[in-house]
Every structure is written in C-alpha cells, then in structure tokens.
Amino acid sequence: MIKTSKDNQATFLVDSIIEFKDFLPNYNAHIESFHALLEKECIAWSEIKNFTHGYIIIDDYIKFYNKERIHGSLSYMNPNEFIRKSMLIRICQ
C-alpha cells in the first residue's frame, strides 16, 4: 500500500520503481561483460595486498582495456581508436 503525503512521496516512490528497471542485469549486459573480463584478465591474476594496490591494478587494467586491448566487436581496434575513427567518419559525412 502506498500512502500519500503533502510532499508527493508516493509519486517519488512510483517514479523510483519505474526507473529501477533500467538497472537490471539484462539492461546493462555490456557492463556485466566488462566486469567478467576484469575478473578473468586482471583480478584473478593479481595478488591484491590492500585497497590502494587494488585500485592501482584495476586503474592500469582499465587504461590497457581502453588504449591497447583490441576488441573483436570494434573491428579489431581498441576503444579509443574506434571512437576516433567513428568521429572522423561523422565529421566527413
């Protein structure tokens, strides 16, 4: 049961429930895929000593992922290269 009040809490609650559907796993499969790769290619191979060490390892992996690692779904380019080429194509059109 939803109770209403002078400040429209019920409306806020309904809006929050409607927006929540966007955070379900099937709506963000690309992030779920990245987290699986992060676990498999980075965390599983590292012995993380503390929070700072873990932060550095994950930050280095994200830089590698965006600047060096090629992706089959991006025509075998890294994400940075793919974005640059995509922007050039849009400018030339």
Cα distance between residue 34 and residue 51, in whole Å: 20
Alpha helices, DSSP H, located in 21-78: 29-41, 51-67
* Three-class secondary structure of residue 42 per DSSP: coil
Q: Residue 16 has what pLDDT?
A: 46
pTM strictly above 0.75: no
Residue type, 23: F
Q: What is the DSSP string of 61-91?
A: HHHHHHHT--BGGGTTB-HHHHHHHHHHHHH
Q: Residue 50 has what pLDDT?
A: 93
- Residue 58: which of 48, 67, 68 has the closest Cα? 48
In this predicted model, what pLDDT tens digit does every residue of 4-63 receive, in sequence order?
445 544 444 444 444 555 556 566 778 888 899 999 999 999 999 999 999 999 999 999
* 89 pLDDT tier (thresholds 50, 70, 90): confident
